[in-house]
Copies of this chain bind each other. A is one copy, B any other.
Amino acid sequence: MATIKKGILERLNAREVVIGDGGFVIALEKRGYVKAGPWTPEASVTHPEAVRQLHREFLRAGSNVMQTFTFYSSDDKLGNSTEALKITGTQINEAACDLARQVASEGDALVAGGVSQTPSYLKCKSETEVKAIFKKQLEVFVKKNVDFLIAEYFEHVEELEWAVQVLKTSGKPVAASLCMGPEGEMHNVSPGECAVRLVKAGAQIVGVNCHCDPMTCVKAVKLMKEGVEKAGLTAHYMVQPLGFHTPDCNCQGYLNLPEFPFALETRSLTRWDAHKYAREAYKAGIRFIGGCCGFEPYHIRAVAEELAPERGFLPAASEKHGMWGASLEMHTKPWVRARSRRDYWEHLLPASGRPMCPSLSTPDT
Contact surface of A with B, Cβ cutoff 8 Å: 29-38, 49-50, 53, 56-57, 60-61, 122, 213, 244-248, 255-272, 296-298, 301, 316-317, 320-322, 325, 327-333, 335-336, 338-339, 345, 348-362, 364-365
Contacts and interface: CB of A to CB of B under 8 A. Distances in A.
Contacts of A359: 351-360
Contacts of A60: 32
A36 B321 contact: yes
Contacts of A325: 36, 262
B365 A335 contact: yes
Given A263-B345, A265-B269, A322-B37, A245 B30 contact: no
- Which of A333, A350, A361 is the most central at the interface, judged by chain B CB atoms within 10 Å of its CB? A350
A37 B253 CA distance: 37
A330 B80 CA distance: 11
Contacts of A61: 32
Nearest to A255: B336
A35 B266 CA distance: 24
A263 B259 contact: no
Given A32-B60, A348-B263, A329 B247 contact: no
Contacts of A348: 258-259, 263
Contacts of A272: 262-263
A35 B330 CA distance: 12
Nearest to A319: B35
Contact of A29 (B32, B270, B320, B336): B320
A353 to B, nearest CB: 3
A49 B34 CA distance: 20
A262 B270 contact: yes
Given A30-B296, A35-B320, A265-B266, 8 more contacts: A35-B322, A36-B321, A49-B56, A50-B53, A257-B351, A258-B350, A263-B350, A357-B359
Contact of A354 (B32, B122, B298, B352): B352
B355 A37 contact: no
A60 B28 CA distance: 13
28 contacts: A29-B320, A31-B57, A35-B322, A122-B332, A213-B353, A244-B353, A262-B339, A262-B345, A265-B270, A266-B350, A266-B354, A267-B353, A267-B354, A268-B268, A338-B364, A349-B356, A349-B357, A350-B354, A350-B361, A351-B355, A351-B358, A351-B360, A352-B359, A353-B359, A355-B360, A356-B362, A358-B359, A359-B360
Contacts of A264: 350
B33 A320 contact: yes
Contacts of A365: 335
